Amino acid sequence: QGKGDRGGDRADRATSEQVLDPRTRMLLLQMINRGIVSEIHGCLSTGKEANVYHAMSVSEDEDAAPIHRAVKVYKTSILVFKDRDNKSNNRAMVKLWAEKEMRNLRRIYATGIPCPEPLYLRLHVLAMGFIGSSKGIPAPRLKDVEFSREEAEERYRSLYIELLGYMRVMYQTCRLVHADLSEYNMLYHKKRLYIIDVSQSVEHDHPRSLEFLRMDIKNVSDFFKRKGVDTLPERALFQFIVSPEGPSDFTSENNEMTETIEKLLSAREEGDAEQHESEDVDTAVFRQQYIPQNLEQVYDVERDAEKVRDGMGGDLVYGDLLAAGKSKSKSTPADEAADSESDVSGGVSVSGSDD
């Protein structure tokens, strides 16, 4: 019995749990045959848009420790179309998401921000480094981490500081805004935060990147505030991230990034109650400048499918939170393609929800 056969069995077992289509199974088998992974194990996560599998790369040398991997399989069946003809568009779009995740991961990984190492991409299947123990136990999401009472305060504060640095480097050096950053998309591993799930991340100069950044800042601030961290006013954090002045990578020997953030934090901590109150009011005002929407509204599926059909898929910008809904009134795919390049009119929207 050959190696491929054995791998095939395992791949079959893993995929049958989630009933993957034959094409996806083929891709997983190809990955095994190419030696990217040698065994595909169970599901780490079943999401709306993707499943993530645990895989291993076992070397011929029996003494060598197996290498763990994660394989993210985008679901080609999640997008519901009115007619069945759109099946191939569907695949093309999901492939674009996977490509974006690969490209973004590469950029993030290159700057030294902890994230899975991007390894291999084929259509809608992406293999990456596994974040977890050498025994194959996946790292918990930040949301699920539990610290002991004594250490919690200090731990969360230093994770918060660490994360602010990542957000700034991501903006200044990767030239990206995560656009779905929260305690759900960070893993806690070896006392550090790992950034994951970056298929929807946008270029820093995307017309709506700053709204996404504000949303990321809100999610992060809400989480760390709940954990008792005296977080920066959101506007101040925003300015820290986008300001061209200051450190924009981790290369500085004297840890300039951490020092800069510590300074901002002590300014906050030294403020009196009155100052805090006015900062909180300002944060509320700051938040009002955009309309929070959930991920389901991110993708204007029909519109994007049109672009793919018209061969304009290349400029698709996912994570287009606020465009969903608004773009309905617009007429031709050509207009909309132009829009994604040049629309600045909708930069900041006032929600109109205030009394």
Catalytic residues: 180, 197
Rounded least distance, CB 181 to Mg ion, Å: 10
Q: Which of 162, 197, 304, 343 binds ligand ADP (CB under 6 A)?
A: 197
Give the residue, chosen from 24, 185, 248, 260, that forms a contact with ligand ADP under the rule CB under 6 A. Answer: 185
C-alpha–C-alpha distance, residues 355 and 349, integer Å: 16
Name the DSSP class of 141: B
Q: Is 93 in the site for ligand ADP (CB under 6 A)?
A: no
Residue 197 makes contact with Mg ion by CB under 5 A: yes
Count residues binding ligand ADP (CB under 6 A).
19
Q: Which residues pair with 206 in a beta bridge?
A: none
145 binds ligand ADP (CB under 6 A): no
Q: Does residue 44 bind ligand ADP (CB under 6 A)? A: yes
State both tokens at 292: 């929070």
Secondary structure of residue 188 in the 3-state scheme:
strand
Q: Whose CB is nearest to ligand ADP?
A: 47
From residue 203, how far is each of 48, 64, 175, 298 by CA, in Å? 24, 40, 6, 16
User: Could you give the count of Cα atoms lying within 13 Å of 80 in the half-sphere of its Cβ?
Assistant: 2
* Inter-residue contact 128 to 55 (CB < 8 Å): no
Among 57, 111, 172, 185, binds Mg ion (CB under 5 A): 185
Structure tokens of 229? 């961290």
- Asked if residue 209 lies in contact with residue 171, where contact means CB atoms within 8 angstroms, the answer is no
Site for ligand ADP in 265-324 (CB under 6 A): none
Q: Find the Cα–Cα–Cα–Cα dihedral 321, 105, 236, 343, rounded to 10°.
A: -40
Considering beta carbons, is residue 114 or 233 the nearer one to ligand ADP? Answer: 114
Stretch that binds ligand ADP, among 47-55, 90-98, 209-217, 273-281 (CB under 6 A): 47-55
Query: With binding defined as CB under 6 A, does residue 14 bind ligand ADP?
Result: no
H-type helices in 118-255, by residue range? 149-172, 209-226, 234-242
Q: Which residues are near Mg ion by CB under 5 A?
A: 185, 197
Binding site for ligand ADP (CB under 6 A): 44-45, 47, 49-50, 52, 70, 72, 116, 128-132, 138, 141, 185, 196-197
